[in-house]
């Protein structure tokens, strides 16, 4: 069983991310996150976890795959430390402004170059762009079945049966392999990197593939960013409601809430 886990590197979820002008502001704005660390996208840890569980259940290998700059090596090392067998970084300056469909085309080309994959796993979405569409688009480019928002996976004789976790409940879906999956937290808590894993990851050789290595041109991006804005600053002064009894507090609080006319 050959499993590929697609991951991305993003600013840590505690990061104070904001839009700031580039230089004098004439060239627009850019995103900064101060000195917050870049980490493996937290949702993608479930993809790696799901891949490792399937490796343990069925044998085989797990390859972590990432599009990103050189710094994204650290995200791949996290996947290796969790237990992935190998990691590949796709890095090319032509991919800086890529949209999700473009990323899907690049990932599909990489999946084909790796060859013989049975399952390609993604997280639900990324913390940065957050579209959550790249998995389905990769499936579409490959022509493989898409099994989205999966919380349980069972492989049997060339087929996979999953439980898809949606608002309305759980839907059991099966498909022939190879298939693309997006994995959600019901799969189980993502394991922590082990001491041995961290040592192995620190010594790992992570090859870098360019678009030339993949044999494709840079995909044209149809979706592009026109402007960045910081959300309006919220009025955050809290008014603490006090009183002698819970009833007195409740009376004041309810009066205040009703006066806001939100009900």
Which residues in 29-68 contact another protein (CB under 8 A)? Answer: 31, 42-43
In angstroms, give the least distance from the CB of 29 to another protein. 9
C-alpha–C-alpha distance, residues 92 and 140, integer Å? 23
Strand pairing report for 119-123 and 2-7: parallel
Nearest to 80 by CA among 236, 200, 169, 195: 200
Contact between 161 and another protein by CB under 8 A: the answer reads: yes
Contact between 157 and another protein by CB under 8 A: the answer reads: no
Nearer to another protein, 103 or 214 (CB): 103
Contact between 25 and another protein by CB under 8 A: the answer reads: no
Around Cβ 74, how many Cβ atoms within 10 Å? 16
Contact between 115 and another protein by CB under 8 A: the answer reads: no
Contact between 234 and another protein by CB under 8 A: the answer reads: yes
In angstroms, give the least distance from the CB of 137 to another protein. 5
Contact between 101 and another protein by CB under 8 A: the answer reads: yes
Contact between 262 and another protein by CB under 8 A: the answer reads: yes
Q: Calculate ∠ Cα 10-13-19, nearest 5°.
A: 70
Nearest to 136 by CA among 127, 153, 144, 262: 144
Nearer to another protein, 130 or 212 (CB): 130
């Amino acid at each position: 069983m050959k499993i590929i886990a697609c991951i991305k590197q993003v600013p840590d979820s505690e990061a104070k991310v904001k839009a700031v002008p580039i230089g004098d502001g004439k060239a627009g704005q850019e995103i900064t996150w101060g000195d917050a660390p870049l980490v493996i996208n937290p949702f993608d840890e479930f993809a790696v976890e799901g891949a490792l569980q399937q490796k343990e259940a069925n044998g085989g290998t797990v390859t972590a795959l990432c599009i990103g700059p050189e710094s994204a090596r650290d995200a791949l090392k996290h996947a290796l430390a969790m237990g992935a067998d190998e990691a590949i970084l796709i890095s090319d300056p032509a991919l800086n402004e890529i949209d999700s469909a473009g990323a899907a085309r690049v990932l599909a080309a990489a999946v084909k170059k790796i060859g013989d994959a049975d399952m390609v796993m993604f997280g639900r979405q990324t913390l940065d762009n957050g579209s959550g569409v790249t998995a389905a688009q990769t499936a579409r480019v490959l022509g493989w079945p898409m099994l989205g928002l999966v919380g349980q996976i069972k492989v049997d004789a060339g087929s996979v049966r999953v439980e898809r976790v949606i608002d309305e409940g759980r839907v059991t879906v099966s498909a022939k392999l190879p298939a693309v999956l997006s994995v959600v937290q019901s799969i189980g808590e993502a394991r922590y990197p082990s001491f041995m894993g961290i040592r192995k990851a620190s010594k790992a050789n992570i090859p870098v593939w360019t678009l030339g290595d993949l044999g494709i041109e840079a995909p044209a991006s149809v979706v592009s960013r026109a402007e960045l804005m910081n959300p309006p600053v919220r009025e955050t002064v809290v008014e603490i409601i006090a009183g002698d009894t819970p009833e007195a507090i409740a009376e004041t609080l309810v009066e205040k809430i009703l006066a806001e006319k939100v009900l």
